[in-house]
Amino acid sequence: MKKRLYFGALILLLATFTASGQAAHSEFGEQIATSNGSGYQTDYLNSVKLTFLSWLSGSTKLSYERAIPQLNQSGEICASLICAGYDKYNNDPLGFTVRYGHKFFTPDNDGLSLKGFYLRPEVIYSHYTYTHSLDGSRTLANMGAFLGTFGYQYVSGRFLADFWFGGGYAFGNASETLYHHGFELWHWLGKVNTNIAMSFSIRLGFCF
């Protein structure tokens, strides 16, 4: 029952933001001449994306992004349903992650509002329970993080691909796996630090 409620809330949240984007920009975008002279590309201001391969890490992540073309920026919200995917740690996770990121794009030769290199500060909140490997008890993992990420977003027609990596500061109750379905706590080079969060992924989607 809880999984159904989480899934319904995820769909409702993203549908609300998508509808808001359509209402705010009834015309999808203007025609922009491509820099190589091959034709014209519509400058779409909205996109919906799925985090590529998120299902393999135990969750489904959907995001909505809205461009602010006057400022060469965009705002993006992402919601994750933790349990909708392959349980790679075999700990039956159940919960959610929400994150907001604000992108600052570098100038793009094609003049497309959602395309180009960017810097993105982000705030993330992850909340889920899981079955602990030692005693089988249901344990709460409750973490927040402030991140800075660097990435590149590619747009061709309505297709969009978003690649990024970054890190920042994390705080809260860490899970024993150190994975929080949106960021991962430092556990490399023989050291563990639950206050250092890392994030890297790919999102694929469509523009409108």
Model confidence over 85-137: pLDDT tens digits?
999 999 999 999 999 999 999 987 688 999 999 999 999 999 999 999 999 99
Residue whose entry in the numeric block shows the structure tokens 């590149």 = 152
Give yes or no for residue 42 having a pLDDT over 70.
yes
90: amino acid identity, one letter: N
| pLDDT band per the 50, 70, 90 thresholds, residue 25 | very low
3 state SS of 84? coil
The more confident residue out of 35 and 30 is: 30
Give bridge partners of residue 198 from the DSSP assignment: 167, 184
Please identify which residue in the block is written with the tokens 């030769």. Answer: 109
Please tell me the pTM assigned to this model: 0.83
